[in-house]
Structure 1
Amino acid sequence: MNPNLIEVAQVFFKLGCFAFGGPAAHIAMMEDEIIEKRKWMTREYFLDLIGTTNLIPGPNSTEMTMHCGYERAGKAGLFVAGISFIFPATIITAILAYLYVKYGKLPEVEPFMYGIKPAVLAIIASAILKLSKKALKSTELIILGILVLVVSLLGVNEIVALLAAGILGMLYFYMKSKARTNLNTFSPLLLFLGINTTIAKISTLKLFLIFLKVGAILYGSGYVLFAYLDAELVTRGLLTRAELIDAIAMGQFTPGPVLSTSTFIGYQLNGFTGALVATTGIFLPSFLFVLILNPFIPRMRKSTILRYFLDSVNVAAVAVMFAVLLVMARDTLIDWQSIVIALIATILIFRTKIGPIWTIIMGVFLGFILSDFIK
C-alpha cells in the first residue's frame, strides 16, 4: 500500500479523535501537523487551500483535510483523509445517539468539555500568527485584513467578506501593477451543486436527499446548520426542536466536524441505516467539490489576476480566523478557571514543544478538575 496514503490516514484519524473547537481550531491543528511537523506543502499553498475552501459550501475544516490528502497522496488521499477525519466523530456520535434514544437524555460530558475551549484559543492564536506572516505581504494587504476583521466583528457574513476582499484586492493590485501580459480567461472559481428533487416517500432515501441538499448549500457555523436543519426537519414534523437542539449539542461536544450532528439525527429517525445515509448525504458534496476544485488552485496561482484574488482572499481568511478567535475569547474567558486554562495553554503552545493535541488533553484534565469550583 502507498506509504503516503497510510500517513494521510494516520494523521487525519488522529486529528479526527482530538480536533475540538470548531473549524478555526481544526485548521490550526492541521497547520501544526502538516506544515510544522511534516512539511507536506508550503505555508503559502496551505493558505491558498484555506482561502479557496472558504468560498465553497460545506464544512471548511473537513474540506481542508481532503485538499491536504489530495496534495499528499492524490485522489485516493482525498477520500482517505476525509473519511479518516470524519470517522471518529461519526462513531462517537452514533454511540451517543444510541444512548440518547435508549435513555432519553444526553450523557453528562460538560465537566470534561469545560477546559477545551480555553485551550483551543491558544492553538488558534498560534496558527494565526504563523499564517499571517505569509499572508500579510504588503501594507495594502494589511489594511485589507483589518477591514475584513472589522466587518466580520460587525456581523457581516464571512463569505460576503471573503468574496468582497478577493474582488477588491484583485482589482486594486491589477490596476497597480499595470500588467502588460494578456490575462487568461477566468477559470471557474466556484462550483455550485443545485438540488431540486422531489423527495421520495421511502424514509432512507428521503433522509439521504435532505442531508445531501444541506451538505451542498451549507455555509457557515453550527448555528447556520441549526437553521438549515430546523427548516428541513422540524417544520416537516420529522423532529422536534428540542431533539434538534440536543443533536447540535452532541455535534459540538464531539471532536471533528460539527456536521457529525447528521449521524445523531439519522440514528434518531431511522436507526443505524438512517445514521449511515444522513452522514453520507451531508459529506458527499464536499468530496465532489474538492475533487473538482483542487486541480484549479495551482493554475490560479499562475494567472496574474487570480493570484491577486487569492492573496486578498488569504488575508481575509486569516482576518476571519482572528475575528472567530476574538468572539470565542469573549464567550469563553468568563471566569478565573477558564482564564487560567487559557494562560497555561498559551505558555505550552508558545514556549514549549508540546503540540496542540497534548494541549487539548491538558485542557480536558484541568477543565474536569476546575469545573468543581463553578457554582
Structure 2
Amino acid sequence: MDKPEFAQMFRVFGRIGILSFGGPAAQISLMHTELVDRHEWLNEKQFLGALSFCMLLPGPEAMQLATYSGWRLRGVSGGLLAGLLFVLPGAVIILGLAAGYAYYGQLPVVQSIFTGIKAAVVVIVLQALLKLSHRALKTASSWGLAGLGFVAMFFLSLPFPLIIASAALWGYVRTRQEPTPSLHQKYESTHYKRTIKTIFIWSFIWITPILVAWVSGATFLTSIALFFSKLAVVTFGGAYAVLAYMTQSVVETHGWLSTAQMIDALGLAETTPGPLILVTEFVALLAGFYQGGPILAITAGTLALWVTFTPCFLWIFAGAPYVEALLARPRLRGALDAISAAVVGVILNLSVWFALHVLFDQVTRTRLGPLPDLATFAPASAALTGFAAVVMLVLRLPMIPTLGILAIAGAALGSFS
C-alpha cells in the first residue's frame, strides 16, 4: 500500500477529530471504520496491536492510537498531524465553554442547567464504572484489587499514583514470566541511539515551558505545569480514574476550584469531541481566570494542554518501534490487568464522591472519608439523578442527547423553585 498524502491524512484525521464524541470506545470504533475499513491504511492485526500498546501507556488511549496510526503511515510528522487533529477541535470548544462558564456560570438559570448536567454526570460515571467492571473484574484477585482501590481512595485518601504503582507491582510480580524474544536480539544499537535521541528531544519539549514558568517566578503557572505533568504520567485507566485524584488535589490541596465546579467541568468536557482528559484544560482555564483574569486563564489552559499531551507524543514516538516486543511480555500485561482492576475501585470512589456532592449541599471530609450532612439533602437533584438513570441505563439514550435533556430538565425544574 502506498503511503497516503498529507492532504488526505489531514482530511481523514480531521474528520476523526471533529466527530470523536462519546468517549474512547466510540472514538476507537470511528478510527477503525476510517483507517481499517474505509481507507485500508492499517490491517486488523496492526490496528489491534497498536490499541493493545496504547492501553499499556499512561494517557488517553484513543488520542495515542491516532498518533501511532499517523506515525505508522508517515513517521513522526504523520503522528504529529494525527495526534494534534484529534485534540485541537475539542480544545478550541473547551476554551469557548470555559469562557462562557467563567462569565455566566453563576447566573441562576445557568446554575439550574448545571444542576441537571451534574445529575447526568453521576450516571455517566456510573455507566463507565459498569462497563469497565465487566471487562476488568474476572477473578477473585481482581475483585479484591478493586475493593482495595476503593478503600484506599475513599476512606484513606491515599494518593492515586501510589495506588496505581502498588497495583502494577502486584500484577507484575504475580504474573508468570514466559520466554520472550530479547529486545537486544531484535534491534541494533543504532535503533537504541535513535530512541534515546527521541526521548531527549521530547522530554526537552515537555519541560521547557515548566522551566520558563519557574525561572520567571510565576508560582501559580509552575504549580499548574507540575501538577498536570504528574497527572499525565499516572493517567492509567482513562480519565475517569484520574478524575478522583485530580478532584482531590484541585479542590483540597490547591484550592483552585470547588467540587461543584469540578463536576461542571466534567459535564462540559463530555459534550466536546476529543479525549475526556481535555477536562484538564477546562480546570486550568477556570483556575487561571479566578487567580488573575482572562490572560492568566489562557496561559494556564495552554500550559495544561502542553504538559498533558506532549508526554503522549513522547510515549508513542519512543515506544512505537518496540510494539511487538513489548506486547510479547506477559508481565506487562499482568501489570496492566492489575491496574485496570484497581481503577474500578477508584472510579467507584469517584461515583460515590460525585453523587454525595450532587445529592447533598454540604459534605464534610472526615478521617473516614466524606460525610454528608443529611439535613442538606437536595430532592430536586435526587429526582434529576433518577431521571438521568432512566434515560441512560433503561432507555439507553446516547450521552450527548442525555446531557441536553437533563440540562433542559434542570432549567425547567429551576424555574419553579
- 3-state SS in 2 of match to 1:115: helix
Do structure 1's residue 179 and structure 2's residue 178 form an aligned pair?
yes
Equivalent in 357, 364, 374 of residue 400 of structure 2: 357
- Whole-angstrom distance in 2 between the partners of 1:367 and 1:171: 49
* Bigger mean CA offset, 346-355 vs 81-90: 346-355
* Bigger mean CA offset, 308-317 vs 348-357: 348-357
- 3-state SS in 2 of match to 1:221: helix
- Whole-angstrom distance in 2 between the partners of 1:324 and 1:153: 8
Do structure 1's residue 8 and structure 2's residue 16 form an aligned pair?
yes
Which residue identity does 1:151 align to in structure 2?
A
* Bigger mean CA offset, 303-312 vs 336-345: 336-345
The Cα shift of 1:315 comes to 1.5
The Cα shift of 1:82 comes to 2.0
- Whole-angstrom distance in 2 between the partners of 1:268 and 1:149: 32
Deviation per residue, 1:322-348 (Å, 9 max, x gap): 221122223323433333322332232
- 3-state SS in 2 of match to 1:263: helix
Equivalent position of 1:147 in the other structure: 148
Which residue identity does 1:81 align to in structure 2?
F
Equivalent position of 1:116 in the other structure: 117
Deviation per residue, 1:96-152 (Å, 9 max, x gap): 55x48xxxx944421110011222222222222222222224332232222222322
Equivalent in 166, 169, 192 of residue 168 of structure 2: 166
Does the aligned pair in 2 maintain the 1:183–1:305 contact within 8 Å?
no
Do structure 1's residue 200 and structure 2's residue 185 form an aligned pair?
no
- Whole-angstrom distance in 1 between the partners of 2:55 and 2:88: 19
- 3-state SS in 2 of match to 1:156: coil
Does the aligned pair in 1 maintain the 2:50–2:65 contact within 8 Å?
no
1:291-330 correspondence runs (5 A): 291-294=313-316, 296=319, 298=323, 300-330=326-356
Task: Please give the TM-score of this superposition, normalised by the length of structure 2.
Answer: 0.64
Which residue identity does 2:178 align to in structure 1?
A
Equivalent position of 1:253 in the other structure: 264
- 3-state SS in 1 of match to 2:215: coil
Q: 1:214 to 1:136 in 2, by over 3 A?
A: closer
Which residue identity does 2:160 align to in structure 1?
E
- 3-state SS in 1 of match to 2:175: helix
- 3-state SS in 1 of match to 2:216: coil
Equivalent position of 1:87 in the other structure: 92
The Cα shift of 1:284 comes to 0.6
Deviation per residue, 1:15-58 (Å, 9 max, x gap): 4xxxxxxxxxxxxx4045225676579999879756743xxxxx
Task: Please give the TM-score of this superposition, normalised by the length of structure 1.
Answer: 0.70
Unaligned segments of structure 1, at least 5 residues:
16-28, 54-59, 231-243
Does the aligned pair in 1 maintain the 2:228–2:280 contact within 8 Å?
no
Does the aligned pair in 2 maintain the 1:214–1:228 contact within 8 Å?
no
Does the aligned pair in 2 maintain the 1:165–1:312 contact within 8 Å?
yes
- Whole-angstrom distance in 1 between the partners of 2:220 and 2:148: 41
- Whole-angstrom distance in 1 between the partners of 2:129 and 2:122: 11
- Whole-angstrom distance in 2 between the partners of 1:348 and 1:311: 32
Equivalent in 217, 223, 228 of residue 215 of structure 1: 228
Q: 1:141 to 1:81 in 2, by over 3 A?
A: same
Q: 1:138 to 1:49 in 2, by over 3 A?
A: farther
- Whole-angstrom distance in 2 between the partners of 1:153 and 1:217: 21
Aligned pair count reads 324
* Bigger mean CA offset, 317-326 vs 159-168: 317-326
Equivalent in 61, 75, 82 of residue 80 of structure 2: 75
- Whole-angstrom distance in 2 between the partners of 1:117 and 1:50: 29
The Cα shift of 1:83 comes to 2.0
1:45-84 correspondence runs (5 A): 52-53=57-58, 63-64=60-61, 66-70=63-67, 73=70, 74-84=79-89
